[in-house]
Amino acid sequence: MQTVTIDPLRWQAAPSRVILAANGSKPAARLQVTAPRDVAGMARGRPVEELPRILAILGAAHHLVGAQALDQLFGVEPPPPAVNMRRALLETLFFSEHLQKIYFLLTAWEHPFRELRQAGRGAAVSPVPGALPDEIMHALALAQEGAAILGGRSAHPLTAIAGGVSRYLKEDAYLRLADIAEQCLPAARRAADALRTALLSAGRPLAAWREIAVPLAHAALAPPSGDVTGGAVVVRNAGGETRAQFAVEEIGSKISVHREPWTHQPFAYLQADGWPGLSSGQPQGLFFVGPLARLNDGQPLRTPAAEEERQRMVAEIGPFPHYSVAAAFWALLIEALQAAERMADLYQKQNLIGPSIRSVPAQMGSLGTAALESPEGLIFHEYRVDRDGIVTELKVLDTATANNALRCLVAQRIAESGIVRHPTRQETKSRMEIGLLPF
Give the other-Cβ count within 10 Å of 304's Cβ. 11
3-state secondary structure of 26: strand
Answer yes or no: is pLDDT of 355 > 80.
Answer: yes
Mark 205-237 as b/e (b = at least 16 C-beta within 10 Å): bbbebbebbbebbbbbbeebbeebbbeebbbbb
Question: For all residues of the chain together, what is the average pLDDT?
Answer: 91
More confident residue, 204 or 52: 52
- Reference 293, options 347, 207, 235, 333; nearest CA is 235
3-state secondary structure of 408: helix
Please provide the distance, in angstroms rounded to a whole number, between the alpha carbons at the two ends of the chain.
30
In tens, the pLDDT along 391-422 reads 999 999 999 999 999 999 999 999 988 655 66
**Positive or negative CA dihedral for 97, 100, 105, 109?**
negative
Pairing between strand 287-288 and 217-222?
parallel
Question: Cα separation of 337 and 139, whole Å?
Answer: 12
Give the other-Cβ count within 10 Å of 393's Cβ. 14
- The domain ranges of the chain are 3-436
Interval 97-118 mean pLDDT: 72
In tens, the pLDDT along 168-191 reads 999 999 999 999 999 999 999 999
Predicted pLDDT of residue 142: 97
Please answer whether residues 228 and 87 qualify as being in contact, where contact means their C-beta atoms are separated by less than 8 angstroms: yes
113 pLDDT band (50/70/90 cuts)? low
110 pLDDT band (50/70/90 cuts)? very low
- Reference 31, options 66, 6, 55; nearest CA is 6
Bond prior to 319 in cis (omega within 30° of 0): no
Predicted pLDDT of residue 154: 86
Bond prior to 79 in cis (omega within 30° of 0): no
Alpha helices in 261-395 (DSSP H): 291-295, 304-317, 325-346, 349-352
Task: Name the helix (H) or strand (E) containing 423.
Answer: none
Mark 22-34 as b/e (b = at least 16 C-beta within 10 Å): eeeeebbbbbbbe
Please answer whether residues 30 and 423 qualify as being in contact, where contact means their C-beta atoms are separated by less than 8 angstroms: no
pTM of the model: 0.93
Give the other-Cβ count within 10 Å of 98's Cβ. 28
**Positive or negative CA dihedral for 120, 121, 125, 126?**
negative
DSSP code of residue 196: I
Q: Which range among 46-60, 63-77, 201-215, 326-340 shows the weakest confidence by mean pLDDT?
A: 201-215
Question: Cα separation of 58 and 379, whole Å?
Answer: 10
Question: Cα separation of 136 and 437, whole Å?
Answer: 17
Phi, psi for 160 (deg, rounded to 5):
-75, 125
Strand partners, 3: 21
Question: Cα separation of 59 and 164, whole Å?
Answer: 20
Q: What CA–CA distances, in Å, run from 110 to 142, 411, 428, 434?
A: 28, 18, 10, 10
Predicted pLDDT of residue 129: 73
3-state secondary structure of 252: helix
Task: Name the helix (H) or strand (E) containing 151.
Answer: helix 132-151
283 pLDDT band (50/70/90 cuts)? confident
Interval 5-32 mean pLDDT: 89
In tens, the pLDDT along 298-349 reads 999 999 999 999 999 999 999 999 999 999 999 999 999 999 999 999 999 9
Statement: 3-436 belongs to CATH 1.10.645.10: yes
Residues comprising the chain, all counted = 439
Answer yes or no: is pLDDT of 225 > 60.
Answer: no
- What count of Cα atoms within 13 Å lies in the side-chain half-sphere of residue 185? 18
DSSP code of residue 293: H
Mark 323-358 as b/e (b = at least 16 C-beta within 10 Å): bbbbbbbbbbbbbbbbbbbbbbebbbeebbeeeebb
Please answer whether residues 60 and 93 qualify as being in contact, where contact means their C-beta atoms are separated by less than 8 angstroms: yes
Predicted pLDDT of residue 122: 44
Predicted pLDDT of residue 128: 73
Answer yes or no: is pLDDT of 192 > 80.
Answer: yes
More confident residue, 281 or 156: 156
Question: Cα separation of 109 and 430, whole Å?
Answer: 9
Interval 279-288 mean pLDDT: 82
Give the other-Cβ count within 10 Å of 141's Cβ. 13
In tens, the pLDDT along 380-392 reads 999 999 999 999 9
DSSP code of residue 4: E
Question: Cα separation of 338 and 95, whole Å?
Answer: 8
